[in-house]
Structure 1
Amino acid sequence: MKRCMFLLFSLFVAISLAGCGEGSQPAKQSEQASTQQPPSQSTEAKSEKATSYPLTIKDSTGQELTFAKAPERIVSASPAETEILFALGLGDKVVAVSDYDDYPEEAKSKPKVGGVLSPNEEAILAQSPDLVVGGISMKEDVVTKLRSLDLQVITLRPKVVQDIMENILLLGQITDHQVQAEELVSRMKADIGKVTDAVKDLKPEEKKKVYLEFSAGWTVGKGEFLDELITMAGGINIASDTQGWNPVSEEKIVKEDPDVILFAQGFTDEKTGETLDQTIRKRSGWDKIKAIRDNQVIGLDHNILSRPGPRITQGLYEMAKAIYPERLK
């Protein structure tokens, strides 16, 4: 069952959403630059933050990789990691992306290397990359095969928001863009602070019960960053008594009677043509749910909400605004 859920979620990611897995590991302490400089410092000051090569790091699989210099040709086989690389100012170094990469706009024009589960090996080799970045959906046997072809492959598998920020810092270190990475993480932390400050004085009885449906018939429980986002936003995830990605129990949702229902926008049933919110509203007995009675069924951009990249804190803000519009304008 767990294997089926992972495969379904991997498919979900393949259409630009995101997911699960183990957090990434930071580089060895001895290899990190020691001087912390604010973003506004001079070029000379910034150079003190330069990565020292050779650099050895461990990725989320525990695999050690050593880089003799900053990568010049990067293939990203995951939409979230592509967003990170572009946000770090590395768009000119990204020579190819997955078939599903659509943000930022410049990523659309990059050569494609196939899907996120099993990208095309020949297409990757054709780009002569010195770094291949994979996300949560890249199969382990694919990673092993690519490494057997003498490719430097790093895989990132974040579970919580902190993992996402550590992945950004790790990619910044590998690519000698540490200052940019720290600036980006600082902005993300500021976004988190705005949300948590807005909801921190909520009394227990004021906290709203939230049900999130990220794909038709599927929700999320403990151990994944979408559950964490609901908590950060001041909500109570009614599926938090479950672990990971779970099929929806329609009777349970009716019983829990959520105040707010959040769903991922952009999905349409191929057979009926119904949008996800239409499907949700038509379920038997769900018209009695408070969220539906009060018209608190709110769609959120599925890419922003679920890609474990630099826009995840924007997703947090939009989620909190949907739950407590009076607190976040």
Structure 2
Amino acid sequence: MPRTTPFQNPQAALLAALLLVSFAVLPVSAATVIDDAGTHVTLNTTPQRIVSLAPSNTEILAALGLTGRLVGITDVCNYPPEVNTVPRIGGYSAISTEKVSAARPDLVIASDITPAETTARLRALGLNVVVVAPRNIDDMIRDIRLVGALTGTDAEAERLAWNLSSRLANLGTAERPAGTRPTIAHVVWNNPLYVSGNDTLQNDVIEHAGGTNAFARVSGWGTVSLEEFLMTNPDIIIVNGGGGMDNETRDVILEDFMTRPQYASLSAVKIHRVYAVKADTISRAGPRIVDATEQVAADVREMTRAESGGSTGLAPTARTPGFCAAGTVLFIAAFVFLVQRRR
């Protein structure tokens, strides 16, 4: 008996046609990831319209060459400069879901600072939301790869992650014995004295740079008294750069430490080991956190060489640009908000 082909059997032909149509319309998954909130997120197509709800995530996207896909960022996203033309959708905790929705994004990248109700509302509107919230430098490098997988920039993400990891490895601080590590305080603000304790990004910076956090006993970010600070007497003091009341280049916290009599007894003040690092560079879990780590590591090397009687061979640590009072208040408010969320 001759074999019947599907086209000679009307029922078989209909079934084959239906299968072809179904395969044609079923989407092929572009990526499936588990975000930093533990949520499985699947994108069926490579996103072309992206909204970022945190400056650190905006910087990751820009470092992957995705600035052109941004259709919405927060009011405090300011780096790199080319993002300044991207429409604004609100602040850290005052995000306009209406503006986000109106931007018609196919991907929204939130953070742990994004209010949970905002994230839920955006998902209820049918938007793809992924939470990218690295807590340390290793998390940040991992999240670069995650964002790369979601956006079809895997190769760029791998190159960036490799570059950042190599720069950290080249610091040569990983094997430094605990007893030889200088104590380092990171001061977020000076009135009151607001420092970075354990379980903070800045604690991770200090450890990668070859130091020990002088206030590791503080949980997260917190205030300490002047007496406690003086008794701790850290070997090196890192302060947030900027903070001027106008647009002049002023590092007001640095100036405070170096000129006010109450700090004169500190060893770091006496021998000029108080350094400013630009505030958003050391506070954002994006690629520039490695820049901050390299700067702190250079300060540690400078101290080590000075104590051994050798020349540092290093240029002085650069002063950082100041920023307006409103920016200062917003920065501190963001830190307080994050501390409260983590507690």
TM tier, shorter chain? 0.7 to 0.9
Inter-CA distance 310–204: structure 2 relative to 1 (3 Å threshold): closer
Q: 2:120 aligns with which of 144, 148, 162?
A: 144
Identity of aligned residues (%): 26
Secondary structure of the structure 2 residue equivalent to 1:304: helix
Secondary structure of the structure 2 residue equivalent to 1:147: helix
C-alpha contact (below 8 Å) 2:174/2:208 kept by paired residues: no
C-alpha contact (below 8 Å) 2:53/2:74 kept by paired residues: yes
Counterpart CA distance in 1 for 2:38 and 2:313 is 40
Secondary structure of the structure 2 residue equivalent to 1:128: coil
Query: Is structure 2 residue 11 aligned with structure 1 residue 70?
Result: no
Query: Is structure 2 residue 272 aligned with structure 1 residue 298?
Result: no
Per the alignment, residue 317 of structure 1 pairs with 294
Q: 1:88 aligns with which of 64, 68, 75?
A: 64
Counterpart CA distance in 1 for 2:313 and 2:135 is 26
Inter-CA distance 253–154: structure 2 relative to 1 (3 Å threshold): same
| Largest Rg, 1 or 2 | 2
Per the alignment, residue 155 of structure 1 pairs with 131
Deviations 1:2-61, CA, capped at 9 Å, x for gaps: xxxxxxxxxxxxxxxxxxxxxxxxxxxxxxxxxxxxxxxxxxxxxxxxxx7243222222
Structure 1: 5+ residue stretches without partners? 1-51
C-alpha contact (below 8 Å) 1:75/1:96 kept by paired residues: yes
Inter-CA distance 295–141: structure 2 relative to 1 (3 Å threshold): same
1:203, CA displacement in angstroms?
5.5
Query: Is structure 2 residue 93 aligned with structure 1 residue 117?
Result: yes
Alignment TM-score, normalising by the size of structure 1: 0.78
1:206, CA displacement in angstroms?
3.9
Per the alignment, residue 242 of structure 2 pairs with 266
Counterpart CA distance in 2 for 1:200 and 1:274 is 30
Counterpart CA distance in 2 for 1:274 and 1:228 is 23
Structure whose residues are more often helix by fraction = 2
Alignment TM-score, normalising by the size of structure 2: 0.75
- Counterpart of 1:314, as a letter, is D
Counterpart CA distance in 2 for 1:134 and 1:328 is 42
Structure 2: 5+ residue stretches without partners? 1-27, 306-311, 315-343
Query: Is structure 2 residue 263 aligned with structure 1 residue 289?
Result: no
Deviations 1:196-223, CA, capped at 9 Å, x for gaps: x1x4575555432211102332111111
Inter-CA distance 135–200: structure 2 relative to 1 (3 Å threshold): closer
1:274, CA displacement in angstroms?
8.4
Inter-CA distance 176–274: structure 2 relative to 1 (3 Å threshold): closer
Per the alignment, residue 22 of structure 1 pairs with none
Inter-CA distance 291–74: structure 2 relative to 1 (3 Å threshold): same
Per the alignment, residue 187 of structure 2 pairs with 213
1:269, CA displacement in angstroms?
6.5
**Superposed, which structure 2 residues align to 1:198-209 within 5 Å?**
199=173, 202=176, 206-209=180-183
- Counterpart of 1:260, as a letter, is I
Counterpart CA distance in 2 for 1:297 and 1:88 is 34
Deviations 1:139-184, CA, capped at 9 Å, x for gaps: 1111111111111111122111111011110000011111100000
Aligned length: 274
Of the two structures, which has the highest relative contact order with CA contacts closer than 8 Å and spacing of 6 or more? 1
Query: Is structure 2 residue 169 aligned with structure 1 residue 193?
Result: yes
RMSD, aligned CA: 2.1
Secondary structure of the structure 1 residue equivalent to 2:202: helix
1:295, CA displacement in angstroms?
1.7
Counterpart CA distance in 2 for 1:64 and 1:203 is 40
Q: 2:55 aligns with which of 59, 66, 79?
A: 79
C-alpha contact (below 8 Å) 1:321/1:328 kept by paired residues: no
Q: 2:204 aligns with which of 228, 236, 239?
A: 228
C-alpha contact (below 8 Å) 2:30/2:150 kept by paired residues: no
